[in-house]
Amino acid sequence: MGPPGSGKGTVSARITKSFGLKHLSSGDILRANINAKTELGLLMKSCIDQGQLVPDDVMSRLILSDLRAIGQSSWLLDGFPRTVSQAEALDDAYSVDTVINLNVPFQTIKQRLTSRWTHLPSGRVYNIDFNPPKVPGFDDVTGEPLVQRDDDTPETVTRRLKAYETQTEPVLEYYRSKGVLVTFSGTETNKIWPHVETFLHSKLPYVNQNVA
């Protein structure tokens, strides 16, 4: 768990690689269903197009059906649950033993996200602060102009962070009360990661041997 832009995707990829867990990202599942025009995908697209959140029961059904398909493997969820009712739906089906929360200051996230510019045709992403294009505003390979995705404009970022705060903070509280929440704070993913890795090595000793 963590606000948009807190590095969940990067940390999830590293956990998956180091510990061999199956990784389910709610964003990836949403996009796949929308692209495949499944019944749930069409329903979700109409919500998103109207700027609404996908209803909890739809989201829960989607994720739980993917989890059932995984079978007995250990898994890592990223981007779900986002609300307490999603967390309860997950608890009804599975027991969650660890919830990792990336606590990154909103100020850092705003700076990080609003510095992102994308070359839409290729999906190449630049960051003005640490991975700038050679020529400001233009793609290194094609020389075509870069755009700032709607998601990354300062107004949208502020709105997304506010939504995260109101919706997802109660989920953190829910898991805190169950004693499964572990929070890692920092402003840089590369500095947060070693702490997450050390913690997981103590939590998942049996996985390490397989990887080693």
159 is in an annotated binding site: no
Residue 110 dihedral angles phi and psi, to the nearest 5°: -60, -45
The verdict on whether 124 is a catalytic residue reads no
The verdict on whether 14 is a catalytic residue reads no
The verdict on whether 176 is a catalytic residue reads no
Given the residues 45, 110, 160, 176, the one annotated as active site: 160
Given the residues 82, 110, 162, 176, the one annotated as active site: 82
The verdict on whether 160 is a catalytic residue reads yes
148 is in an annotated binding site: no
The verdict on whether 149 is a catalytic residue reads yes
Given the residues 61, 68, 149, 191, the one annotated as active site: 149
Q: Is the dihedral of CA 74, 78, 79, 82 positive or negative?
A: positive
113 is in an annotated binding site: no
Instruction: Compute the distance between CA of residue 146 and CA of residue 119 in angstroms, rounded to an integer.
Output: 5
Calculated CA dihedral for residues 142, 148, 149, 154, nearest 10 degrees: 170
158 is in an annotated binding site: no
Please name every residue paired with 127 in a beta bridge, in sequence order, or none if there are none. 116, 131
Q: Is the dihedral of CA 71, 76, 79, 85 positive or negative?
A: positive
Instruction: Compute the distance between CA of residue 17 and CA of residue 80 in angstroms, rounded to an integer.
Output: 20
10 is in an annotated binding site: yes
How many Å is the Cα radius of gyration of the chain? 18
80 is in an annotated binding site: yes
Annotated binding site: 5-10, 26, 31, 52-54, 79-82, 86, 116, 125-126, 149, 160, 189
Annotated binding site for AMP: 26, 31, 52-54, 79-82, 86, 149, 160
Annotated binding site for GTP: 5-10, 116, 125-126, 189
- Catalytic center residues: 8, 82, 116, 149, 160
